Amino acid sequence: MSKQSGLSIGDKPTGGCACGDHDVVDYPELDTRVIPHAIRHATIFGALSSIAPERGMIIVANHNPLPLLAQLEERAPGEFEVTYLEEGPEVYKVQFVRR
């Protein structure tokens, strides 16, 4: 049988996990706790501006990022879907997905 890309004709490609949970989206995380305060919001907005539609990222913070969320809504009203993945009290994880 001929081989193409290491597979026999009729073989199914393998790779990844075998758990069957392939709908889980793996967005990159930005740990804002290590970014100097003076440039933190600018860094986050820069990262968010690079996200393509239907893609996203997760920020990790040591406080509820309500001021950031208010700024984001002023700058880009309704452009991102925001979901809390973890809500403190020591760590907050917030997912942003561009609509």
The pLDDT tens digits for 18-74 are 555 445 568 999 999 999 999 999 999 999 999 999 999 999 999 999 999 999 999
> 74 — phi, psi (to 5°)?
-70, -40
Cis omega before residue 89 (within 30°)? yes
3-state secondary structure 24-49: CCCCCEEEHHHCCHHHHHHHHHHHHH
**Predicted pLDDT at 2:** 43
Question: Is the predicted pLDDT of residue 7 greater than 90, yes or no?
Answer: no
CATH fit for domain 20-98, picks 3.40.50.720, 3.30.110.40, 3.40.50.980, 3.20.20.70: 3.30.110.40
